[in-house]
Structure 1
Amino acid sequence: MSDEPLNTEDEVTDKAIAHAVGEELRRARETKGMSRAQFVKLLPSGIGDRTLLAYEHGLRQMTVLRLVELAEGLGVPASIILGQALERARIHLENLVLRVNLRELIADENRHYRPLRQWAKNRLSQEPDGVVELTPAAVLELAAFLGRTHTELAGYLSKFTPEPVKEDP
């Protein structure tokens, strides 16, 4: 690892990732119907409400171990929290398995991606919840079919990331 200082672009990306991960943690906590105070009482590390608030607002960076602890406390794998955060923030999309709400994609009127609507209709018959997961390789193939770059299509598909479903308390 280099001792070189981060350049401005890296700093912006780091802040964007911290904010996106924090936002996803907050979404997951609220989906579970828990307040910050209720959630921190469940955690073995004994962090306080203000620390959790700083994480959720992206004001404080967390270690991987802390992310794992928070995710486990929410009953969600850390990889899911991180992946959904990056997808919603549209960061490093080319490397992610993208979750796509087919119904929203079908309703979209963007003419450049019109062939995807028929594909989404066909897939909807196989996916009763209306959500598919697309690997980077699948996105790359669809991009080639559409005459788009992987980055362009991943950015477009990330607009259809499904919202978490609230759990009954």
Structure 2
Amino acid sequence: MTEEAIAKAVGEELRIARETLGWSRTFMVSRLPSGIGDRTLLSYEHGMRQITVFRLIELSEAVGLASSSVLAMALQRARVDLANLELIVDLRSLLADFSPQFRPLHQWAKNKGNQCPDGIARIPPAAIDELATFMGCTPRDLVLHLTKFTPDYVAEVVNGRAQRGLLKVPD
């Protein structure tokens, strides 16, 4: 189940990035040096085929995203290996949540929002541990709560590169 969830999540991240650029599968494969076909790309995007590290790097670079960012977002969406991830959280969505146990996060999210004008925050594992201690919950419980606020895709292309919050590849 975990392998399938990761494959599907990685494929979804790549598909959304391609679509954000307005590219068809045919156009994208024409830009790849490996010469894979449309059906191969389709099978990656739908998680029907395991993607190699080399292919992940190639496809990520093609759409202008760092492969590490694609993998991190995929793992977050699939809720796999969360204890080791820097979580990406939509602060505005978090502020709209009124779960009693996590209500004390509101002030933190408001303050963090002042540092993140786009409303998207990166939270490293060490900060998760500290927030969990403050909240009186386990880091795992906090992480599972925060993954509910994984940002939606921002359909934006800047300089021909797909962007989603803080995941753009530096020029």
TM (normalized to structure 2)?
0.89
Alpha-carbon displacement from aligned partner over 1:124-145 (angstroms, at most 9, x marks no partner) = 1221111110001111111111
Give, in whole Å, the separation in 1 of the partners of 2:5 and 2:116: 32
Displacement after TM superposition at 1:163 (Å): 1.9
Match of residue 116, structure 1, among 86, 101, 105: 105
Please give the residue correspondences for 1:84-163 in structure 2 after superposition, counting only pairs within 5 Å. 84-163=73-152
Partners of 1:33 and 1:167 within 8 A in 2: no
Unaligned residue ranges in structure 2 (runs of 5+) = 161-171
1:58 aligns with 2:39: no
Equivalent residue number for residue 60 of structure 2? 71
Amino acid at match of 2:40: T
Query: TM-score by structure 1 length?
Result: 0.90
Work out the percentage of aligned pairs sharing the same amino acid.
57
Q: Which of these residues, 78, 83, 86, is aligned with residue 72 of structure 2?
A: 83
Residue-by-residue CA offset, 1:117-165 (whole Å, 9 max, x unaligned): 1110111122111111000111111111111111111111111111221
Moved over 3 A (4+): none
Unaligned 5+ runs, structure 1: 1-11
> In the aligned structure 2, how far is the partner of 1:137 from the partner of 1:167?
31
Larger Rg: 1
Q: How many residues align?
A: 158
Equivalent pair of 1:83/1:96 in contact (CA under 8 Å): yes
1:13 aligns with 2:7: no
2:30 is paired with a residue whose SS is helix
Distance 2:115 2:7 in 1: 35
Q: CA RMSD in A?
A: 1.1
- Letter matched to residue 92 of structure 1: D
Amino acid at match of 2:140: T
